[in-house]
Structure 1
Amino acid sequence: MPSGFVPSAYAQNGPPAPAESAGGAAPKLLDKVTVEGTPTASRDRPAPTASRLGLSARETPAALETVTQEQIQARGLRGSVEALNAAPGVLAGQLPSSPGTASMRGFSGGAIALLYDGVRQSAAPLVTRDFDSWSFERIEVLKGPASVLYGEGALAGAINLVPKRPDFDGRAFAGLIGVGSFGSQRYAVDFNEPIGERLALRAIVSHRRSDGYVDDTASAATSATVALRWRPSDAVEVDIALDHFEDDYDTAYWGTPLIPAALARDPSSLVRSSDGRVLDRSLRRRNYNVDNGLQDSRGDWLRTRVGWQIGDGLRFSNEFSYYDAKRRWWNSETYAFNARSGLLDRGTTRIEHDQRFWVERASLSADSDWGGHRNRAAVGVEISNGDFAVMRRFGTTAPVDPFAPQRGLAGFADTAANFPGAGNRVDFDSRTRVYSLFAEDAFNLSERWLLLAGLRYDRIELERRIEDRNTGAITRFERSYEPLSWRLGTVYDLAPTTQLYAQYSTAVAPVGSLPLLSLANSRFELTHGRSAEAGIKSSVWNGRVDLGASAYWIEQDDIVTRDPRNANLSVQGGTQSSRGIELTAAAALTRALRVEASLAALDARFDKLREAGGIDRAGNVPPNVPERLAQLRASYRFDALPLTVGAGARYVGPWYADNANRLRVAGRTVWDASVAYRLPFGEIALYGRNLGDALYADWTGGAADQFVLGAPRSVELTLRVNL
């Protein structure tokens, strides 16, 4: 199977289990670890996403899923969206407004924190994109509330994109070329260069493009990283990196709308609506965006990290990150069937973002002995400052025939004629400052029993200015919050490779996104969440099989609802909850055969929610939340031939597109397969995706009743070189 770099963070804590190289040549830096290695090894490595104490996954009282670069290469996962969908219990979608938006444990979007190299990205749904997976060493998904580690907005968990870093093991080069269906192309290089024993450099570049599987939806994305690692002494290590990402979607695909069943030429059962509308299979490739639409983004990160081993068991760490991004959406994004005209009425949108923020985090950790008991503790401070300027424009353009759209041009000039009416031509300026104190402690009551506690205090200060360019109205307001988040957990070793764990944690989340908070919502406090979780992690059969099981409950209070005594008044009194189980298994059944499987089953509900008109939504399922997710994948590596074959299936259960549950999206099973031929210098691989050509929806699009359809059957051929 394919291989990749040894993660440098892992290398600091001891080498991974031995494994064969992917090709026939002697192992190089880029191909020294394969997915045929002992599966249990990853659970014994530090899990920095879940704790700042250097705890391993076994010592963490939470479910932590990791998608490694080895798995990314073996499965041909091109972007972060595909990689996240490979993680157990996670659904990620290509929502055009924020590609990579995820759902897990009954919550989605702003309830899940996005981390880049362990640093929280402010307003995650705004930052997320479909980043190229070539850039990452691994992607870690921490399940359950994580506000004690990352502050507000981590109600259902956190996703950490961990970039590759320089390595001291030797010079190495990796390259990739790929071509496939829909005019797709992919190019990538990765070069590592140690300079003496104290300095190492790494440069990573990737580019991919596609004509798209929907009419006139070409896209391109480029990623680049330059990183330096310096060890001025045995006690000090310095990391500096600069990352760049940009994408361009031209006339982006914003989803396929529903039409009356009587008009459909090839009606499908994909969407069940309460008013008889259907999704017409014959519109699968239709694009209703205007011909002069555009959608692009550019983002740059500067990352620095300094680690100082002050003395025996005492370590200081300082991290600074600066982010600068610009994004544009000039599109027709919403399409609604008009029964009178028989056409699709279309809206127009011009939105532009100019976002900058920096994060400074310093921490001191100690590993000491307290009366014969090991104790690991960390305390620290985090300060962040974000500036966010937004242009938001909304208008309309000419309707189109759903079957033969003459898409035409839209007026995007910033005038009241193109975007008329109050609230349709507005500029926002937001500044968000956060001051945080955190502490964490892990105490061994015995060699087999660990107690873990964490506490975080945040001081959040928000300033907003809103100018309506059509009416001349200017609104300014300020708001502050002071949440306190905490968690208690315990891990007990039933055996050296079998752990029972449990934890109780709290979290906070804003009403909407803080940088986009409206004046009406500014009067509300943060919502509060709480969670209980228990589970088991076990490795059996001499470490050849990893098993995991967890059960959890999450509840979010104080969501906005209508006052039951006055349906015209919004108050904080709603409740949303989910409870479920997750099962995972990974087994190296033989030297050649490996199998992975997972199942997530949950019950997600609005416990208390009233909407406009006093309509009661209690008992309904939140949108974009499938209550069943399952995966099964197997791979076989031949001994007689330099060949590896793999196949897998992913099941996503039915989900709803709106709070009213009037739009139900059918579940689907998508099959993939691969065959890879090992070469002395790398590998050539063929990937087949959605082999059954299933018609399925990834997510809701520009409106609740239009759906982003997944790609049809496709193939890709890649050549990867390791030197």
Structure 2
Amino acid sequence: MKKILAATLAISASVAMADGNEDSLEEILVVGKALTSLSESGSRLSLALKEIPATVDVIDGDAMRIRRDVSLLEAVTRSAGFTGAGNPGNGGTSMSARGFTGQDVVTKLYDGNNYYTMASTITFPFDTWAVERVEILKGPASVLYGLGGIAGAYNVVPKSPSAEFVGMLRISAGEDGERYYGLGLTGSVSDSVIARIDYSDGDSDNWVNNGSSDTQMLAVALAWQATEDLTLSFRYDSGDQSPLRYFGVPVVGTDFDDDLVDLNLSVGDTDIKYDDEITRVIAEWNASDTMSVNIEAFELKTDRYWQTVETYFFNEGSGLIDRFDPLIIRHEMQQTGGRANFVFDSELKEMPLKMSLGFETTDISLDYTSNFNGSHPDSVDWGGDFDTVDPSNFIAGSWYDVSDSIAALDQVSDAMQWAVFGEAQLKVTDQVALVAGIRHDSIETDYERLTYNASGDRDTSVDNSVNQKVNPTMYRFGVVFDMTAGTTFYGQLSSGETHPRGGDIVRVSNSLREADTVKVEQYEVGLKQSLFDERLTWNLAVFDITRENMLIDDPDSSDPTDFTTVPEQTSQGVEIGLSYSANERLITYANAALVDAERDTGIETIDTPYAPKLTANVGMLYKVTDALHFGADYRYVDDRPYENRPLPAYSVVDLSMGYSVNEHVRVMVNAQNVFDELYATADHWTGGQWLVGRPRTLSMTFDVNF
């Protein structure tokens, strides 16, 4: 990334010299959008929020940065019903929504594009510095974005270049050695070319020992107005992360042990890295007054590495802790593909008709390295490779004290995906519109888990190759009724599907070679309303979702490649959200979700693991004077069921205060978790090992506009 950053300095200089105008600091802090605002995520038809037969929340990038939500997970989980379930094993991005948990539950999009999950892990995007806004679609999103997204999708919309020169600089420092800075520049390079560069760099010692982390993010965008109707764009995005090397602490009884919560039980040489690079070329053509075309080609390169000892058991008799599962894993993955979408405005028997037709294709290759290929003579000994540490006199030790296993190429895979999709809105009357969509995917995966001989050499005489092909078809049918100018009622029936291997289209096993996709069906009705000249907007949604024959990590196996089948999982719930601009000085928002989620294991019916029944968020931003603002945010997450050790409910309050020294300089103070609540953000995949959430943390930030 450093070489690429250096290469962009010439562009930065060109942008800076192209326009010397200055702009004042942005003070309009949006935490909600009017129902007449267009959505890029709830439909490919560029419909207004009120025209979409689903709930769509919009979180503005400025609001994230005022609250100092550095990660997208922190920002997105302020939406109704979304809670974090991230840990270093899944890239820190997994979440729970509408009664379901996992990477295939909420599709993560970047600028409208879905980059596929591998091994339940997604690591990009992650940073909020270059984000214009995040749009959150509730309910199955498969009809728009392909497999997965059974409870919704969120689309990270990056900042776009502008012709006017604007520069932004952020410098921030906080407790636990936290440091962060961001730089953004945009402006004209020539009469027809505009550019934008955003860069951020952050590191922290964090709130546990041996837990240092650092991140770098770079986003470069060029847009060329080739003709009045044709725009050609180039975008390059990269992210390098060495996240908090922490997998939690074992639960003692049914709760935290106060003597353990400050410990990081990882070995001293734990190593976790995520590197992602995305290159895109985009053409946007307004072919006529009634037709527009969007075509994109992309390449995503991902390199992830873990060397960890991540499973811990507390011995109540001795007071010691056993550390198991010394893992080495590497993902080297490349995704290359293209997408095209055509939008038409027409009529059907004098009724306005808007249609979208498109296709996409993606080729994915993977080299998966690990130290747990069972045929390799030097693979990890599950249950046998462990050590014991004394938490009262903790010494981190080395990974090599726990295991002498070695990593070798374990799995190779190539997946080819293509899809065709369509969507239409037919305005039957001035008040009633029908909105429907359909998508068909074809995914073929060639996968092999390699075999090694007793000498540790690959045995090419053994063919473990597996081929699987799935052809899911997903749909959505909705009705939107404008009861009044500001009140809309909607209903929808939609389906979604996920790959049989937990949403992972890149790998397959012999036992799943004949498996079909996991099917999801949802019914939803809702109400959207805006009042007081759109200063107050609120929405209500009632939903019922059923998923059948899904795969989950086998709770009786330490091998992360083992899965088991759940016959059925259901979820019914209610979501409500509100955003209110009381006046020019006060903005408030509130949302809540009440969900009843159950899982039929084939033997018994249980509460769905990690799915809270109640979640809520409340926040406000008040401009005391033109220069001084005060913000407060409250988050509540109910108990999250898991066997006989549910993760306890928690409440967290964050405060912020900002002072604009002048139109170019602002100083902010943030207090996260101001009441120092002790809570668990997530559970380890083995269960009974909770990750401690961030304690009270103070920070100061300087924002400069030039």
Normalising by the residue count of structure 1, what TM-score does the alignment of the two structures yield? 0.87
1:427-446 paired onto structure 2 within 5 Å: 427-446=410-429
- Which position in structure 2 is the counterpart of 1:581? 574
Q: Deviations over 1:214-250 (max 9, x none)?
A: 1110000000011101111111111210011001147
* Matching of residue 553 in structure 1 with residue 547 in structure 2: no
- Which position in structure 1 is the counterpart of 2:559? none
1:243-258 paired onto structure 2 within 5 Å: 243-249=237-243, 252-258=245-251
Aligned length, in residue pairs: 654
Letter in 1 for 2:84: A
**Matching residue within 51, 56, 66 for 1:59:** 51
- Which position in structure 1 is the counterpart of 2:523? 532
Letter in 1 for 2:583: T
Distance 1:579 1:141 in 2: 19
Q: Secondary structure at the match of 1:133?
A: coil
Q: Secondary structure at the match of 1:35?
A: coil
Bigger mean CA offset, 27-36 vs 78-87? 27-36
* Matching of residue 155 in structure 1 with residue 150 in structure 2: yes
Letter in 2 for 1:584: G
- Which position in structure 2 is the counterpart of 1:264? none
- Which position in structure 2 is the counterpart of 1:17? none
1:203-214 paired onto structure 2 within 5 Å: 203-214=197-208
Q: Deviations over 1:362-401 (max 9, x none)?
A: 1211012333321100111111111111112253242111
- Which position in structure 1 is the counterpart of 2:388? 399
Is the Cα contact below 8 Å between 1:221 and 1:245 reproduced in 2? yes
Q: 1:666 to 1:570 in 2, by over 3 A?
A: closer
The CA deviation at 1:573 is 7.1
- Which position in structure 2 is the counterpart of 1:100? 93
Q: 1:128 to 1:140 in 2, by over 3 A?
A: farther
Q: 1:314 to 1:345 in 2, by over 3 A?
A: same
- Which position in structure 2 is the counterpart of 1:704? 687
Distance 1:673 1:301 in 2: 35
The CA deviation at 1:65 is 1.2
Distance 1:412 1:617 in 2: 42
1:39-78 paired onto structure 2 within 5 Å: 40-41=33-34, 43-78=35-70
The CA deviation at 1:682 is 2.9
Distance 2:191 2:438 in 1: 39
Q: Secondary structure at the match of 2:87?
A: coil
Is the Cα contact below 8 Å between 2:305 and 2:330 reproduced in 1? yes
The CA deviation at 1:418 is 2.4
The CA deviation at 1:450 is 1.0
- Which position in structure 1 is the counterpart of 2:475? 486
Q: Secondary structure at the match of 2:63?
A: helix
- Which position in structure 2 is the counterpart of 1:460? 443
Distance 2:705 2:430 in 1: 43
The CA deviation at 1:75 is 1.3
The CA deviation at 1:676 is 0.6
- Which position in structure 1 is the counterpart of 2:334? 356
- Which position in structure 2 is the counterpart of 1:373? 351
Q: 1:623 to 1:419 in 2, by over 3 A?
A: farther
Q: 1:339 to 1:469 in 2, by over 3 A?
A: farther
Distance 2:496 2:124 in 1: 25
Is the Cα contact below 8 Å between 1:99 and 1:129 reproduced in 2? no
Is the Cα contact below 8 Å between 1:61 and 1:489 reproduced in 2? yes
Q: How large is the Cα RMSD of the aligned pairs?
A: 2.3
Is the Cα contact below 8 Å between 1:425 and 1:468 reproduced in 2? no
Q: Secondary structure at the match of 1:665?
A: coil
Q: Secondary structure at the match of 1:523?
A: coil
1:134-533 paired onto structure 2 within 5 Å: 134-168=129-163, 170-249=164-243, 252-259=245-252, 272=254, 278-338=255-315, 342-347=319-324, 348-394=326-372, 395=380, 396-411=385-400, 418-419=404-405, 427-469=410-452, 475-511=464-500, 512=502, 513-533=504-524
Is the Cα contact below 8 Å between 1:293 and 1:332 reproduced in 2? yes
Letter in 2 for 1:122: Y
- Which position in structure 1 is the counterpart of 2:649? 667
Q: 1:447 to 1:454 in 2, by over 3 A?
A: same
Structure 2 segments unaligned to the other structure (5+ residues)? 1-20, 373-379, 554-561
Q: 1:518 to 1:399 in 2, by over 3 A?
A: farther
Is the Cα contact below 8 Å between 2:30 and 2:60 reproduced in 1? no
The CA deviation at 1:343 is 2.4
Distance 2:48 2:473 in 1: 26
Normalising by the residue count of structure 2, what TM-score does the alignment of the two structures yield? 0.89
Distance 1:78 1:285 in 2: 22
- Which position in structure 2 is the counterpart of 1:19? none
Distance 1:205 1:623 in 2: 38
Q: Secondary structure at the match of 2:66?
A: helix
Q: Secondary structure at the match of 1:384?
A: strand
Letter in 2 for 1:242: Y
- Which position in structure 2 is the counterpart of 1:603? 596
Q: 1:63 to 1:28 in 2, by over 3 A?
A: farther
Distance 1:601 1:339 in 2: 37
Is the Cα contact below 8 Å between 1:40 and 1:539 reproduced in 2? no
- Which position in structure 1 is the counterpart of 2:108? 114
Structure 1 segments unaligned to the other structure (5+ residues)? 1-26, 262-271, 273-277, 563-568, 611-615
Is the Cα contact below 8 Å between 2:86 and 2:95 reproduced in 1? no
The CA deviation at 1:677 is 0.3
Q: Deviations over 1:297-318 (max 9, x none)?
A: 1110012221111111111110
The CA deviation at 1:474 is 5.1
The CA deviation at 1:514 is 2.5
- Which position in structure 1 is the counterpart of 2:534? 543
Q: Secondary structure at the match of 2:76?
A: helix
The CA deviation at 1:130 is 7.0
Q: Deviations over 1:252-292 (max 9, x none)?
A: 11111123x5xxxxxxxxxx3xxxxx420221111111111
Q: Deviations over 1:26-47 (max 9, x none)?
A: x96574561269x553x32221
Q: Secondary structure at the match of 2:93?
A: coil
Q: 1:108 to 1:722 in 2, by over 3 A?
A: same
Q: 1:310 to 1:29 in 2, by over 3 A?
A: farther
Q: 1:228 to 1:491 in 2, by over 3 A?
A: same
The CA deviation at 1:701 is 2.3
**Matching residue within 663, 667, 673 for 1:690:** 673
Q: 1:130 to 1:193 in 2, by over 3 A?
A: closer
The CA deviation at 1:209 is 0.6
Distance 1:670 1:130 in 2: 25
- Which position in structure 2 is the counterpart of 1:638? 624
Distance 2:657 2:242 in 1: 31
Distance 1:173 1:674 in 2: 23
Distance 1:315 1:403 in 2: 66
Letter in 2 for 1:536: L
- Which position in structure 2 is the counterpart of 1:655? 640
Is the Cα contact below 8 Å between 1:100 and 1:130 reproduced in 2? no
- Which position in structure 2 is the counterpart of 1:269? none
Q: Secondary structure at the match of 1:193?
A: strand
**Matching residue within 558, 561, 586 for 1:593:** 586
The CA deviation at 1:654 is 0.4
Q: Secondary structure at the match of 1:515?
A: coil
Q: 1:152 to 1:28 in 2, by over 3 A?
A: same
